[in-house]
Amino acid sequence: MRTTLLRKFVRFQARLCEAFDRLLPPEFLVDGNMHFQREFVPGFIKNGMLVYDMGGGKNPLISRTCKVERNLRVYGLDIDLKELSSAPEGTYDGVKCADIAQYQGNADAELVICQSLLEHVKDIEGAFASISSALKGGGIALLFVPSRNAAYARLNLLIPRWLKRWLLFTIFPERRRDQGFPAYYRRCTPKDFRRLAGRFGLKVLEVKPYFMSSYFSFLFPLYVAWRLWVLFFRYVRGEQAAETFSMALMKV
């Protein structure tokens, strides 16, 4: 009974938040995850590419249908072999169980995809070295990352893991399958990633900041306060105020 009432309350609050969002500029209404999957990544895919999905695990970004249609070879790399084994059949042409911070690539990838992984890595320099080592000259790395500067990221770093998992899965039980992993957000800002890219022989081609997330949508007053903060933060800090961001890097 209490669970049902909570779900109804959360859905009602979410509807209020959606109504409030209609008052905001379009820039603040783009879902970063969806944009990365549906627009950002497809813009860089070419037929016949060799692709590494780093950290995709059971949720590879490229579907089997897309792989076949575009004649792609897709290899999955993840620290958890069970995650890789749970991926839909036929999506990976091969898998490698390895820590992205320690992996040494073969400089053969034409495209590396790394979605919602780097915030979980303690050794971010090692991860950038790994990504660079996997790419051939002219190869492209596409990253999607929650920003350390986001309010939810700051709270995530402050709240004990058991408590934040309980809160997250109580309010948003549908996220239990894909979220709840430890997060560190080491240098996870557009500015820091630009610097890291240069250190590891990667040229920044494009950065797309997003100013949308749903973590506070369970309570309308809190959501409005957060939205007003993001509007102000965006005005004074530009892309550094992003909740999440996508980045395209080229191996030079």
- Check which CATH number belongs to the domain holding 210 and give it: 3.40.50.150
Better-scored residue on pLDDT, 100 or 179: 100
pLDDT given at position 222: 93
CA pair distance 228, 241, nearest whole angstrom? 12
Q: Evaluate if residue 148 carries a pLDDT over 70.
A: yes
Residue 122 counted as domain residue: yes
Entry pTM: 0.92
CA pair distance 84, 200, nearest whole angstrom? 27
Q: Are 113 and 62 in contact, with CB atoms under 8 Å apart? A: yes
CA pair distance 131, 134, nearest whole angstrom? 5
pLDDT given at position 157: 85
Any residues with CB less than 8 A from the CB of 246 and at least 6 apart, and which?
Answer: 32, 35, 36, 40, 142, 143, 144, 145, 206, 207, 208, 210
What would the mean pLDDT of 218-232 be, rounded to a whole number? 95
Residue the block writes with tokens 């320099």: 125
* Element of type H or E holding 51: strand 50-54
> Which residues make beta-bridge pairs with 111?
51, 140
pLDDT given at position 174: 64
Amino acid at 237: R
Residue among 248, 229, 111, 242 nearest 185 (CA)? 242
Residue 164 counted as domain residue: no
* Element of type H or E holding 135: strand 135-146
CA pair distance 133, 128, nearest whole angstrom? 9
Residue 73 counted as domain residue: yes
Residue 173 counted as domain residue: no
9: domain range?
A: 2-148+183-251
* Chain mean pLDDT for the chain: 92
What would the mean pLDDT of 174-181 be, rounded to a whole number? 60
pLDDT given at position 9: 87
Residue 176 counted as domain residue: no
Residue 91 counted as domain residue: yes
**101-144 per-position pLDDT tens digit:** 999 999 999 999 999 999 999 999 999 999 999 999 999 999 99
Confidence of residue 155 (pLDDT cuts 50, 70, 90): confident
pLDDT given at position 70: 96
Amino acid at 16: L
pLDDT given at position 168: 66
pLDDT given at position 215: 86
Q: Are 51 and 110 in contact, with CB atoms under 8 Å apart? A: yes
What torsion do the CA atoms of 62, 66, 71, 74 make, to the nearest 10 degrees? 20
The domain tally of the chain equals 1
The token duo for 106 is 């073969």
Q: Evaluate if residue 248 carries a pLDDT over 80.
A: yes
**17-73 per-position pLDDT tens digit:** 999 999 999 999 999 999 999 999 999 999 999 999 999 999 999 999 999 999 999
* Element of type H or E holding 245: strand 244-251
Residue 157 counted as domain residue: no
Q: Evaluate if residue 202 carries a pLDDT over 60.
A: yes
CA pair distance 129, 196, nearest whole angstrom? 9
Residue 82 counted as domain residue: yes
Any residues with CB less than 8 A from the CB of 158 and at least 6 apart, and which?
Answer: none
